[in-house]
Amino acid sequence: MKAAILALLLMLPAAAQAADSATNPQFTAARAALNNALNRQPPPRRARNVILFIGDGMGINSVTAGRILAGQTRGRDGASYQLSFETLPYSGLSKTYSADKLVTDSSNGISAIMTGVKTINAATGVDDSVTGKDCPSALKGRIPTLAEQAARAGLATGVVTTSGITDATPAGAYGHTTFRGWRADADLPPEAPAAGCIDLARQLVEAPEAIRLDVAFGGDLNNFLPSGTGEGRRKDGLDLTATWLGYDHARLVRDAAGLAALDTRTPGPVLGLFAGGDLPSAADRPDTVPGLAAMTATAIDLLSQDPDGYVLLVESAAIDKWHHQNNAYRALTEVDELSKAVQVAMERTDPRDTLIIVTADHSHGLVLTAGSGRDEPVLGLVRYHGELQTDGNGRPRTTLSYATGPSGPKEGTASAIPDQATVLAKDYRQPALTYMTSAQHAGEDVPVYARGPDSDLLTGTFESNYIYQVMAHALDLDARLQDPAVRLDSGDQEHTDGRQ
Ligand SMILES: [Zn+2]
């Protein structure tokens, strides 16, 4: 009897066919990732070049939902798909609050990263002593940006964005103001120019040569042209494109063909203004307007002609702009656009000499809620094996939703019951809990991804303005700016008060 039981027990494992985790594809993929990490060599110290990518409004929620959409768009499993920047070896979390608010705007968001000091919301290139919409305090609180310091140290500098070039994030490279809305002279209150402040378009173009950008690609042509010329909105009669073209070997491009035709080996500054205002989103962009990856590629080709190295700021702006509208399709499509632009930078640079950082200025109130199967479209209704998973009232619900925004319930209006075809349409706005004409930014920490020299310093949780310290250290800016060969003239001051 005993022998019979023993024989039965011995047979059990074979009969139950226990699983072998070691041959499970998930297990082996994670083991390969571990081996990669174990074989990783610490990155070198000091970089020749720094490329900073900003996904405007790209919180971790946007990265997760964006990767799922990017994978599903390619007919792949979305959840396990990897965006280009998710393959970078080091990552950390950045605390983005401003000097005066729990949740930052884009202006302080980039200013903290580019100057090393958090300021108040809507201000840029100034310290935390400033007060809003106040020219004298802007002049007093002005501090240099990383791009200006790098230019002064002899590096080439550039900015690429899908927004207007005078919008908050690109202005973080060259702008100094207490109010981000002062983009053309028509935006300034009369007391501001009287006190010595100039608009952001003039700050970009009229900056002293020692700190002026070598490459600037984006939109906002209207802010550079006098009113009466097309859509020009300058009241001072200045044609800032003509001012730019007055510089040695300067070039101006206006469309994708012009960008593609640029000889990137020819020296000289290049201004690219591809729309009157913001560039159209990837989902709506005509062939005449270049995409973020094409602009990034050309900017790198131009800047890398400088043997001293370069600093480049690249922004995917429309993630934020479409989140503000609760339109997850377009916002998340722009996450994919950022991924493509980072891929271009990874292919065009050497991790031994170029520090690449990908982060966000702040997050947005997007939520990915549970219930859907892996094969269900992330933009769709919550379904499992095709079955609707309803809310507590028995109504269909969407996988993605927002905390606030224009699709929130307005006083006296009943919210529509969504169907799958409606929610998968490009223009659909995912539901929001609270009605606001524009969705509000969110305040949780944002991810930072990095590779290249000093990228290992971007691990853990840190303040947004710490990112400046890492970039400045990588470029050895302190030592380079103390070099007697670097002319420490009064160029910055001339730039602010308009005395050229
Ligand atoms: Zn925003």
- When comparing pLDDT for 127 and 494, which is higher? 127
Question: Distance from the CA of 454 to the center of ligand 1, in angstroms?
Answer: 30
pLDDT score recorded for residue 411: 86
Question: Distance from the CA of 488 to the center of ligand 1, in angstroms?
Answer: 36
Question: Distance from the CA of 106 to the center of ligand 1, in angstroms?
Answer: 6
Question: Distance from the CA of 445 to the center of ligand 1, in angstroms?
Answer: 15
pLDDT score recorded for residue 6: 58
Q: How far is CA 294 from the centre of its chain?
A: 16
Largest CA distance in the chain: 105
* CB count in 10 Å sphere of residue 362: 27
Q: What is the SS3 string spanning 235-268?
A: CCCCCHHHHHHCCCCCEEECCHHHHHHCCCCCCC
Neighbour-count burial of 344, counting CB atoms closer than 10 A to its CB (0-12 exposed, 13-18 middle, 19+ buried): buried
What span, in angstroms and rounded, lies between the C-alpha atoms of 163 and 169? 9
Token digits of residue 126: 């100034």
Question: Distance from the CA of 98 to the center of ligand 1, in angstroms?
Answer: 14
Candidate from 288-292, 460-464, 489-493 with smallest mean pLDDT: 489-493
pLDDT at residue 14 is higher than 70: no
Residue-wise pLDDT for 55-78, tens only, equals 999 999 999 999 999 999 999 999
pLDDT at residue 486 is higher than 90: no
What span, in angstroms and rounded, lies between the C-alpha atoms of 7 and 151? 80
Band the pLDDT of 500: cuts 50, 70, 90: very low
Question: Distance from the CA of 474 to the center of ligand 1, in angstroms?
Answer: 29
pLDDT score recorded for residue 13: 53
The answer to whether the beta carbons of residues 316 and 281 sit under 8 Å apart is: no
Nearest C-alpha neighbor of 220 from the set 174, 166, 288, 289: 166
Domains and CATH numbers, the chain: 49-365+440-497 (3.40.720.10), 366-439 (no CATH)
pLDDT score recorded for residue 414: 73
- When comparing pLDDT for 180 and 230, which is higher? 180
What are the catalytic residues? 106
Band the pLDDT of 296: cuts 50, 70, 90: very high
Question: Distance from the CA of 105 to the center of ligand 1, in angstroms?
Answer: 6
Ligand 1 (ion): residues with CB under 5 Å are 320
Band the pLDDT of 127: cuts 50, 70, 90: very high
Token digits of residue 11: 């047979």
pLDDT score recorded for residue 499: 31
Using alpha carbons, list the distances in angstroms from residue 293 to 100, 103, 341: 35, 29, 4
Question: Distance from the CA of 324 to the center of ligand 1, in angstroms?
Answer: 6
What span, in angstroms and rounded, lies between the C-alpha atoms of 252 and 267? 13
Question: Distance from the CA of 442 to the center of ligand 1, in angstroms?
Answer: 10
Q: Kindly state the average pLDDT of the residues 203-219.
A: 98
Neighbour-count burial of 152, counting CB atoms closer than 10 A to its CB (0-12 exposed, 13-18 middle, 19+ buried): buried
Nearest C-alpha neighbor of 448 from the set 24, 92, 19, 7: 92
Q: Pseudo-torsion of CA 115, 276, 62, 50, nearest 10°?
A: -40
